[in-house]
Amino acid sequence: MENSAKKKRFPRLSLKIILTLFAVLIAVYIVMSAVFAIARATGFRFPEDREAIDVWVHFMVYAFPPILGLSIIALFAFALNYIVVARICRLEAATDEVAKGNFDIRVEVRGRDELSDLTESFNRMSAELKQNEYLSKEFIRNVSHEFKTPISAIRAYGELIETEAEGGIDPSTLKEYAHIIMKESDRLTLMSKSILQLSLLDSTTIIKKDDYFRPAEQIRDIFRLMQVAWSEKNITLDLRLEELTITSNAQLLYQVWQNLISNAIKFSNDYGTIRAELSRDEQGVFFTVADNGIGIKPEDQAKIFDHFFMADTSRNTEGSGLGLAIIKKVLSKIGGTVSVESEIGEGAMFCVRLAG
């Protein structure tokens, strides 16, 4: 945006206005030449008596220049209204419609000048706002639906405890109900935090990217913190981490590594292997984490970065469906991409690329 704003452009609109003025002058000259030509052809002669000559002189000196000037100004104003003012008025009216929430409005693009560029930008803005409005409504619907499920479960098991407490509830049953309530409460908490972070990322335009750090240290720390999780499943780790340094946002990238590693552990089979690799090539820095777990269906691979999408709900009951969406949003903010390769039964490999 900054480069395009500083880019010098040929002043097409200014040139069009100058050419319009020149065309008006030429038109007036042609009209006057035609009038004089017609006068000569019809044998018109200036009067010879002195009084009549004085009248003509006064007319040519005092009346003709203002009439000519006003004619030129009127013609130029008419042309300027068509070229500039009318188009600005249409943009102003369309802007008022957008301010009222009408994002379907479009303005016809006429010509090739700065106002045409502005009109095209307005139409793109309107289309983006409409898309954002749709995404916001869809996001709210998804939030309502996803919150409804754990809240309903918590209420249902709370009612069961209340009902069965009157006749004496079995301790093991009570423990089971309490476990479900706690699990659903944790899910609500995780979902709330994820939604808050997505909102913060959406509303933040300037992201700090001047941290100088070693991502390999972050990745090793995450594996140490999650040792209980991967040890319980007897997972073998294969870490190939290059000791490189990068300049970016350390906190946000830590969450990217954490979400990817957590998913790899969650979806790995018992006695499986997780391979994590960090290195640098000509295109920048890349990090891959691969498991040999259940894999992702081909039709789901394009959807896994969408809000609340869960490819395998049977093994993702504790998730929020927002982890990969947060990863994609973070990387779009700091200048990176994420992709996935997977085959059913063969596991999945996620690759993060960072420029520089």
Q: Which option is the CATH number for 211-354: 3.30.565.10, 1.10.3720.10, 3.40.50.1170, 3.30.530.20?
A: 3.30.565.10
3-state secondary structure of 230: helix
Confidence of residue 2 (pLDDT cuts 50, 70, 90): very low
Give strand ranges (E) for the chain. Answer: 211-213, 236-241, 246-248, 273-281, 284-291, 336-343, 347-354
* pLDDT value of position 287: 94
pLDDT one-digit tens code per residue, 51-99: 666 666 666 666 667 776 777 777 777 777 777 777 788 888 888 888 8
Closest CA to 246 of 221, 214, 222: 214
Asked whether the beta carbons of 244 and 273 are under 8 A apart, the reply is no
Q: Which option is the CATH number for 143-203: 1.10.260.40, 1.10.3720.10, 1.10.287.130, 3.40.50.1950?
A: 1.10.287.130
Residue intervals in the chain for CATH 1.10.287.130: 143-203
For the chain, the average pLDDT equals: 77
Q: What share of the chain is helix, strand, coil (3-state, %, to 5)?
A: 65, 15, 25
Most confident among 87-96, 173-182, 280-289 (mean pLDDT): 280-289
Residue intervals in the chain for CATH 3.30.565.10: 211-354
* pLDDT value of position 202: 66
Which residue type does 137 have? K
Confidence of residue 15 (pLDDT cuts 50, 70, 90): low
